[in-house]
Chains A and B, each alone.
Chain A
Amino acid sequence: MNLKECHKNAGLQKVLGLLIGIGFGFCLQKGGVTSYDTIIGQLLLTDFTVVKVIVSAILVGMIGIHIMKSFTLIEFHTFPGSIGSSVIGGLLFGIGFGLLGYCPGTVAGAIGQGQMDALLGGAVGILIGTGLFAHFYPVINEKILSIGIFPAETIPELFHIPRWIGVVIFILCLSGVLFILQMLGL
């Protein structure tokens, strides 16, 4: 079976989704980021575990997917953002993040380790929130989402630089972040 057939096989994809999710949940839990205390510690800037996990994931993930893309093994999935969507949506999410202390992935992980506030408060809330968005989508889409559409889908496109130059700059910046955190003993 080649990759295209694999992508189209709905049954197989469900199994793959489950397996990737199990791995993801395992890593999140072992990384300590399924805990409210760790996430709130990050938002209060006293514990930098969350940044370390995310930045390491981006570093490893980014290098691999850009190599695979250069060998045309995979396709990217980016879309244009906008002030109305990315900025407003991002800020709304952030307020929720500060109150809840989990995100949609880690709320699932928190449920797995027995956290009832994640299940009965957080997950229920997220379901209500996504339902509200679906309900008001026609209005939000028409009035807000298309405000200030960004001129480019990716950062290299925005600055008119080759994709790999962008990757190298990001590797340097992100490694710099990890290095500085280590230096400061955070």
Chain B
Amino acid sequence: MLDLLFETTWSPYMAGAGIGILLWCSFLFSDRPLGCSTAFSKTSGMIERLICPDKVKNKEYYKMFNPEIDWQWMMVLGIILGSFFSSILSGTFHISFVPSVFQGAFGDNIFLRFITALAGGILMGLGARWCWGCTSGHGISGISQLSLASLIAVMGFFVAGIGTAMLLFSR
């Protein structure tokens, strides 16, 4: 049983089932769905507050989502740690700048990869708040609750995601 912790990968079904059980815990003990993107907008608000505190205080959005360290912020920090522990235990942790599939298609130009990732991140952050959720908030938590908004949003994620990736790699 303990060997599992040291394995490089689990079957996707087992990893998924584990996440499903965490969803139970999150609803039962924390009265929340699992979701990640709000933590980014709170962090963004906290950083902006360091630079211009008054502006953040008056923004309508931050009145709804107070930029503070809360359950979800700690959860996203936990994801970083959990993935770190997992990759250290299996010996797969390594510092990498350009993922191998990207490198295969576009070369090992770090700048190109960072600009693509930055542009993608900006659109993703905007889109995630626009539809109030991300792959975990809508994809896993929302669809589990049979939420219509989540199902439609997830279709959008994948339709546009597949289209963009196909275009990008179609050279």
Contacts and interface: CB of A to CB of B under 8 A. Distances in A.
Contacts of A79: 132, 147, 149
A85 B142 CA distance: 15
Interface in B146-163: 146-163
A57 B113 CA distance: 30
Contacts of A35: 99
Interface string A26-56: 1111111111110011011100010011111
A153 B147 contact: yes
A93 B153 contact: yes
Given A14-B69, A86-B131, A92-B130, A56 B12 contact: yes
Contacts of A99: 116-117, 119-120, 123, 164, 168
Contacts of A88: 130-131
Contacts of A60: 16-17, 19-21, 23
Given A94-B160, A106-B135, A166 B146 contact: yes
Interface residues on A, range: 35 or more
Interface string B96-113: 111111100000001001
A98 B164 contact: yes
Interface residues on B, range: 35 or more
B53 interface: no
Nearest to B78: A21
Nearest to A106: B135
A22 B59 contact: no
A121 B152 CA distance: 28
A60 B97 CA distance: 35
A104 B36 contact: yes
Contacts of A94: 127, 156-164
A134 B129 contact: yes
**Most chain-B Cβ atoms within 10 A of its Cβ — which of A60, A78, A97?**
A97
Contacts of A19: 78
A93 B157 contact: yes
Nearest to B166: A44
B92 to A, nearest CB: 7
A171 B31 CA distance: 24
A115 B31 CA distance: 32
A132 B113 CA distance: 22
Interface in A153-170: 153-158, 163, 166-167, 170
A81 B146 contact: no
Contacts of A86: 131, 149-150, 152-153, 156
B127 A24 contact: no
A124 interface: yes
A111 B97 CA distance: 11
A20 B34 contact: yes
Given A17-B70, A24-B34, A100-B120, A114 B94 contact: yes
Interface of B: 7, 9-10, 12-34, 36-37, 39-41, 43-45, 47-48, 59-62, 69-87, 90, 92-102, 110, 113-132, 134-136, 138-169
13 contacts: A17-B74, A21-B81, A65-B24, A85-B149, A86-B131, A90-B153, A96-B123, A104-B76, A104-B135, A112-B83, A125-B117, A129-B124, A129-B129
